[in-house]
Structure formats: C-alpha cells, structure tokens
Amino acid sequence: MRYSLLLFALWLLAVLIGIMLCSACSTTPTLYRIDGTIVRMQNDLWYANSELMTGTVYQLSPEGDTLFLQEVREGKPHGITRSWYPRSSNGTVQLQEVRFFVQGKREQTHYGYWENGNKKFEYTYTNDVYEGTQKEWYNNGVLYRIAHYHEGHEYGLQQAFTNDGALSVNYEARNGRNYGTIGKKRCRTIWAHGTPRSWLDSASTDQMPRGRGGM
C-alpha cells in the first residue's frame, strides 16, 4: 500500500513538473530562423553555424503569430524589417515597427507604433544617419517632438511639446549653435563636456539593436 502511494506521489510530481515546463515554454517566443534553420546574431550579422545567411529571418510567438520578419543579405539587414507586439488580451496583433535597410545601413523612413495603434515615431535616414524631419508622439496621439536634421546633425527648427500639446522646447540649430527657448530657459547652445548635445539624440526612442530591427 505504501509502495503504491509512493508511486502515485512520484507520478503526480512528474505531471506537475511537466505542466510547469509547458507553461514556461508557452510564454517563450521561438528562436530566430531562416527557412526553418535556427540562426543567431553575432556582431550585428546573422549566422547559421559559421555561415553568413541570406533570406528572411523570422520569429514566431507560442501561438504561431509572426513577431519579427527581416530581409537579410550576406548576414546584413537588407530590405524591409517588421516587428509586432505579442497578441493582446482581445486577440489582436499590433504592428510595432517598420524599418528599411540597405546592406546593414538605415535608409528611408522608419515607422513605430504604440501598442494601442497610435503612431510612436517617424525617423528618416540617409546612409545610416538622420536626414530631414524626425517626429515622435506620446501614446495618446499628441506630438511629442519634431526635429530637423542634415547629415546626422540638428539643422533648423527643433520643437518639443507636453502631452497636452503645449510647446515646451522651441529653438533653431544653425552652424552648431542653438538659438531659442529650451524649456523655460533662453540660451544659445547646450553644452555637455565641451560638445553640443542634441536633445533628440540624447533621448531618442530609436534604441533597438540593429539586427533585431534596429536599427
């Protein structure tokens, strides 16, 4: 009798461990793959074993939803990259980011979205640096900031807003100097350790690792 109870206890323990393992697995996305082959990123390059990969890297959620798609050529992001948020409680899968690369360098306009579907950012690149108008939004849809860049540096009007739309930063960048209002202070240039510092560069949300989207 005691032996039977012991066997039953061991069996029940094994079942509970199995349930716990399955539960843990169900919250973990699949590994990155190209055509079913598991790939890994090293030094911003995609490899399968020791070979640089060409194809489309993808990642799936436990439910089978696509979380990540990136076109790759010889290990480098090349073409469109898309990522999605995990499935929400109401069953929807929201697009998170759309990026574009040419041989590993950021090009064209990149788009980001909040989980509620509102636009999060809109960055434009040429040869891997900011070029033209850059925009960011709060998750309530209100514009957070708008900046203008040329060859990776601030150039022209730079503005930021509070989450109710009130102007909080308003200055113009010319020849490495800033003219206008930054917060409640009027000044010509913000200096950090002897170098002009861009408020867009220092607080940008554009922080994803390049191969995972970022980019």
**DSSP class of residue 64?**
S
pLDDT at position 35 is: 77
In a domain, 189, yes or no: yes
Q: Is the pTM of this model over 0.85?
A: no
What residue type is assigned to position 25 of the chain? C
Q: What tokens appear for 122 in the block? A: 């809109």
Does 22 reside within a domain?
no
**Lowest model confidence (mean pLDDT) among 13-22, 68-77, 172-181:** 13-22
Q: Which of 60-69, 130-139, 172-181, 194-203 has the highest mean pLDDT?
A: 130-139
Calculate mean pLDDT across residues 196-201.
40
Label residue 104 left, alpha or beta by phi (over 0 means left) and psi (-120 to 50 means alpha).
Answer: left
In a domain, residue 175? The reply is yes
Is the residue at 143 inside a domain? yes
Q: Is residue 76 part of a domain?
A: yes
Helices (H), the chain: 2-26, 199-203
Phi, psi of 207 (to 5 degrees): -120, 10
Confidence at residue 1, expressed as pLDDT on a 0 to 100 scale: 56
Q: Which domain range does residue 42 map to?
A: 29-212
Task: Report pLDDT for 49.
Answer: 83
Q: What is the mean pLDDT of the chain?
A: 80
If one compares 191 and 129, the residue with the highest pLDDT of the two is 129
Strands (E), 29-142: 33-34, 37-38, 40-42, 45-48, 51-52, 55-60, 66-73, 76-84, 95-102, 105-106, 108-113, 119-126, 129-130, 132-137
Which residues make Cβ contacts (< 8 Å) with residue 39, sequence separation at least 6? Answer: 32, 33, 46, 47, 48, 53, 57
Residue 204 has pLDDT above 70, yes or no: no
Task: Give the count of domains, the chain.
Answer: 1
Each residue's pLDDT tens digit, 148-181: 999 999 999 999 999 999 999 999 999 889 998 7
**Could you tell me if residue 137 is inside a domain?**
yes
Res 191 pLDDT > 70: no
Which carries the bigger pLDDT value, residue 129 or residue 50?
129
Is 8 among the domain residues?
no
Q: Is residue 11 part of a domain?
A: no
Instruction: State what percent of residues in the chain have pLDDT above 70.
Output: 70
